[in-house]
Amino acid sequence: MSKGLFISFEGIDGSGKTTQLELLRQRLEAEGRSVVAVREPGGSPVAERIREVLLDASIDGLNPVAEAFLYGAARAQLVAEVISPALDKGSIVIADRYLDSTLAYQGYGRGLDKGFLNQLNQMAVSGTIPHLTILLDLSPAEGAVRRRGTVPDRLEQEGLAFQERVRRGYLALSCQQPERIKVVNAAQLPEKVHEEIIYLVTTYLKP
C-alpha cells in the first residue's frame, strides 16, 4: 500500500472539474501538503503526445477500440512515470479524469464492452485505484452552455445524446461503487461545490 492519497475528478465536458481541481490544489498546498496534479489523457511528455492525437478534431474515423487503447496507453505511462512514484513518496495526487472516464466515454458513450475496458484499465493502472473519486454531475445542456465560445475537441463534437449517455454511465458507476465515487451537484455555485469537495476530502486527510 502506498503512503499517499489519490483523488480523481470525473464528469462530463464542461462540468467544472479543472476549476475545482485547481481550487483543491491551492487549498491543500496552503496547508503545506505536497500535491501532484495531473490530467488525463496527458500529464507526462509521452502521454501529452497521445493526448494530441486523441483530442485532434481534424482526425476522422478513429476506430473506437483503437481510441480505447490510446487512452489506456496514456494512462499506463502516466501511472508508471508520475502517479505511482508520487504516491510512494507520500504526496497527494489529484487527477483531472482517470479510469472511470474510459468506462463512461468508451463504455457507456461509445458502447464498447465493459469487460474489455475493465481489463484494459486493470492492465494500465496495475492496482493504482483512487481512494476517492469526485463525480461532478451536470446536465449536458448546462455543460454545453458553459463550453460556449470554446473550440470543441474531438469528443466534445459528439453532441448532447453522447454526453447524456456518458452522464448516465457515470451515475451508474457511482451506484456500483458508492464508497469510492461521490456525486457532487455541479450546477451549484463554484464556492458551494468547493465546500462540498473539501468536506469529502477532509475525511481522507492525515492530520
Min separation Cβ 113 and ligand TMP, Å: 15
For residue 54, what is its C-alpha cell? 486523441
| Closer CB to ligand TMP, 97 or 182, in the complex | 97
| Closer CB to ligand TMP, 54 or 197, in the complex | 54
Cis peptide upstream of residue 41 (ω within 30 degrees of 0): yes
| Closer CB to ligand TMP, 101 or 128, in the complex | 101
| Closer CB to ligand TMP, 84 or 98, in the complex | 98
- What's the Cα-to-Cα distance from 146 to each of 13, 19, 41, 60, 117, rounded to whole Å? 9, 12, 21, 25, 30
Interacting residues toward ligand TMP by CB under 6 A: 13, 39-41, 71, 97, 101-102, 105-106, 155-156
Min separation Cβ 86 and ligand TMP, Å: 18
Min separation Cβ 3 and ligand TMP, Å: 25
DSSP H/E element including 6: strand 5-11
3-state DSSP call for residue 139?
Answer: coil
Min separation Cβ 165 and ligand TMP, Å: 12
Nearest-angstrom CA–CA distance, 133 and 25 = 15
